[in-house]
Amino acid sequence: MTATTIASSTRMMMMMKMVSTTTTTNTTRRRTTTTKSKPSKTTLNNNALFSSSKSCRRLEATRGGGRRERTKKKISSFDPPRATSSSSSEQQEQEERKTNTPTKKNAMNFDVPKVVKICGITTAEDCRVAIDSGASHVGMILWPKSKRSVDIERAKKIVKECEKSKERVITPVAVFVDEDGATIAKICEELGYNTHAQLHGDLARQSLKDIPQKIKVIWVCSADESGKIVTEMPGESEEELASRRKEMLSGEKGWKAPIDWVNGPRKTVDYVLIDGVNAGSGEKFEWENLKVPKGCSRKGWILAGGLTPENCSEAVMVLRPNGVDVASGVCDESGVVKSKEKCDAFVFNVRAAAAK
């Protein structure tokens, strides 16, 4: 071999060696890349187990959350008694004064009818007895022919006693029989403290149209022994309404009829009170036959007539009135002075019946 041939062979061998080394390196790199991109079976199994356990935990958390949520709802429905701050106590007292419900001197929380009225109050002392028993309204009879009547000066003292009440708002009610609208309005304004007017007689009821709207009115209806109402309801009859409507719409000023209708005589009352024919006698009528009036007052109706501490529970459960009114049923043997024991029992039994 010549020197030239030997040199060429040497260069060729070196080049083949370099190519072989490069190929080996590239193969190694490809294997490494493939190894990184394709996890082993062990890695796949571990990932599957982790994913499965994670899903289980997520599902369990969801179910557990539902249980916890239901548990929270159950717990929230039970609100154990806890101490209240002075501000919350004041707020509670204000709320109680608005709703005419007694404060929590006892642990009872009955759903009391809106009106629990003790009528025929003749002295400030009897007024205090009624207030302490839990009454929301006290009635004073200004008709001089009643044995429980009071004059204006004594009525003012009773109203002052109502105004002194710190437990809740006590509403005084002046009972009228044959007074005209101007007299009724004047007396109520003179007594003050939001005194309501109870229209108990025909002449007083006829005066409704002349009583200002700012004075709250209780319209009294009489029911006979069978429970049939024998007194007209407040407002005008259908014939009177039709006649007045026709008269107002006729003529050149018929376009003013809607305005005149709104600004016309008063036709609405706040409560309708249903009493026996002989009011204040303690005579009871058949409650089961009573057809309760609807839509003729703004706030509902009040049951009166023969109520006592013994039968008031039955009356409330049978008729579910918006209020109750008692007079002779809570008097002592004199028929005038209020009995503390009877007043307490009456209000307690009314509350207990309302809660059933």
- Report pLDDT for 268: 87
b/e code 315-334 from CB counts within 10 Å (16+ = b): bbeeeebbbbbbbbbbbeee
Residue 138 scores a pLDDT above 60:
yes
Distance of alpha carbon 90 from alpha carbon 181, whole angstroms? 40
- Angstrom CA distances, 38 to 25, 50, 287, stand at 20, 18, 90
Structural domain count of the chain: 1
Please identify which residue in the block is written with the tokens 């009115």.
Answer: 217
Distance of alpha carbon 113 from alpha carbon 326, whole angstroms? 14
186 domain-assigned:
yes
Distance of alpha carbon 145 from alpha carbon 71, whole angstroms? 66
117 domain-assigned:
yes
| pTM metric for this prediction | 0.64
Per-residue model confidence as pLDDT tens digits over 76-113? 333 333 333 334 444 544 554 444 444 444 334 344 58
b/e code 133-145 from CB counts within 10 Å (16+ = b): bbbbbbbbbbbee
Q: Which two tokens stand for residue 246?
A: 């026709």
Domain span at 315:
112-234+269-354
Per-residue model confidence as pLDDT tens digits over 55-83? 444 444 444 444 444 444 333 333 333 33
Per-residue model confidence as pLDDT tens digits over 15-35? 665 545 555 555 555 554 444
33 domain-assigned:
no
Please identify which residue in the block is written with the tokens 């039970």.
Answer: 78
Q: How many CB atoms lie within 10 A of CB 39?
A: 12
Q: Looking at residue 177, which CATH number applies to its domain? A: 3.20.20.70
101 domain-assigned:
no
259 domain-assigned:
no
- Angstrom CA distances, 300 to 238, 244, 349, stand at 22, 27, 21
12 domain-assigned:
no
Please identify which residue in the block is written with the tokens 């304004």.
Answer: 189
Contacts for 232 with CB less than 8 Å, ≥ 6 apart = 205, 221
249 domain-assigned:
no
- Report pLDDT for 237: 54
3-state helix, strand, coil in the chain (%, to 5): 50, 10, 40
Q: How many CB atoms lie within 10 A of CB 159?
A: 23
Q: Give, as one character, the DSSP assignment of residue 255.
A: G
226 domain-assigned:
yes
Distance of alpha carbon 286 from alpha carbon 225, whole angstroms? 6
